[in-house]
Amino acid sequence: MRQGASLARVLEAAEGVQGRAAARVVLALAQAAAELSAVIARPSIEGRLGAATGAANVDGDAQRKLDLIAEDLCRSALQGAGVGPYLSEETEAPTVLDPAGTVAVAIDPLDGSSNIDVNGVIGTIFSVLPARGPDAATSFFQSGRAQIAAGFFMYGPQTTLVVSLGQGVDVFTLDRSAGEFLRVEQGMRIPQGTPEYAINASNHRHWREAVRNYIDDCLRGADGPHGKTYNMRWAGSLVADGYRIFNRGGIFLYPADGRKGYEQGRLRLLYEASPIAFLAEQAGGAATDGERPILDIVPHRPHERAPLVMGSADKVERVRRYYQDVELTRAEPVGLSGARA
């Protein structure tokens, strides 16, 4: 189908019962995203959208005005879209929107909250799974490989949708005058060989040895083992940092670290790491928790976290070897002199 085709048109081609159910979800969320994008673009005369509501989400993050607006828009858009179980970052327990719904949706309605009042890029990330009984939570305890679709919207200079229904990754941009998303890229591939990384470097002292070794080697530049001068970028929202990597290649890391509460990193598995990993694999890239593919993890709790190492396949594999090397070094017996045997 041609470039410039509308999202609705492209989704008409979705195949199978599950494919069509996922297409319905994506269309409903596109409607919510278009409305949210308009809310974000409005002058903040009635108070800042990033103002704290005084409440916190289940993970302890302060809830902001825009978090709640985004949650309301997404949830109501999904009400009539054949969605059974629904899990949002903003609500503690999963609920059922439509008992007859055949798919389950996990969603972060507003990713990157700290970017709200600085006119930075923020987004909405979602994952669509087959609905499984017997209660609202069970559907979410399937591995990420069960996803039927995943994607994210980015609210930046443009409003963009990056989405996959399991047959590659397409990119759409909101045409505000027409009020619809138009396809601007089909079959997106993450390039390899790009010397660029994204990590919150202020946590250097908290990282595990493998991560520190990898980043320290990047910092060594052309004289180091990577043999290249590296560039670093950190926008502070997963959608923005992720999208840059989908476009340009490189690697994103939010690893586990030594801070209290960060034993499994910062990102939530079901509505952050897993959908991004699905997209990365669909675009020829990779995503692991440092050691194993994110998509192989079976969640046990709705809001559980996972370390995320995502990007060009060659780089993600390289980081895996750093983890492995540290494990091997630890396992090797150390001689009396302290030298490794």
Q: Which residues bind ligand F6P (CB under 6 A)?
A: 111-112, 200, 236-238, 241, 254, 266-267, 272
What the block records as the tokens of 314 is 């060659």
The residue of the chain with the least Cβ separation from ligand F6P equals: 238
Closest CB to ligand F6P among residues 31, 200: 200
What is the length of the chain? 341
Q: In the complex with ligand F6P, which residue's Cβ is closer, 244 or 320?
A: 244
CB of 50 to ligand F6P, least distance (A): 12
Among 71, 108, 281, 289, the active-site one is 108
Give how far Cα 11 sits from Cα of 25, 26, 91, Å.
10, 8, 29
Our answer to whether residue 332 is catalytic in this structure is no
Nearest alpha-carbon partner for 40 in 151, 159, 198: 159
- How far apart are CB 51 and ligand F6P at their closest, in Å? 17
Task: Examine the residue annotation and report whether 267 is marked as an active-site residue of this protein.
Answer: no
180 given a catalytic annotation: no
Q: Is 71 a catalytic residue?
A: no
Beta bridge partners of 26: none
From 67, 196, 241, 281, the catalytic residue: 67
Q: What minimum distance in Å lies between the beta carbon of 106 and ligand F6P?
A: 14
Reply yes or no on whether 196 is catalytic. Answer: no
207 versus 254: smaller Cβ distance to ligand F6P: 254
Catalytic residue check, 108 = yes
Q: Using an 8 Å Cβ cutoff, are 123 and 152 in contact? A: yes
Q: Which of 49, 110, 267, 295 is catalytic?
A: 110
Please tell me which residue in 71, 73, 90, 253 is annotated as part of the active site.
Answer: 90
Q: How far apart are the first and last CA of the chain?
A: 61
Cis amide leading into 134 (omega within 30): yes
Contacts of 127 (CB under 8 A, 6+ apart): 105, 106, 107, 144, 147, 149, 150, 270, 271, 274, 275, 278
Residue 72 annotated in active site: no
Of the pair 28, 238, the CB lying nearest ligand F6P is at 238
Catalytic residue among 7, 66, 71, 89: 89
Distance, in Å, from the CA atom of 287 to the CA atom of 123, rounded to the nearest integer, reads: 20
Kindly list the catalytic residues: 61, 67, 89-90, 108, 110-111, 272
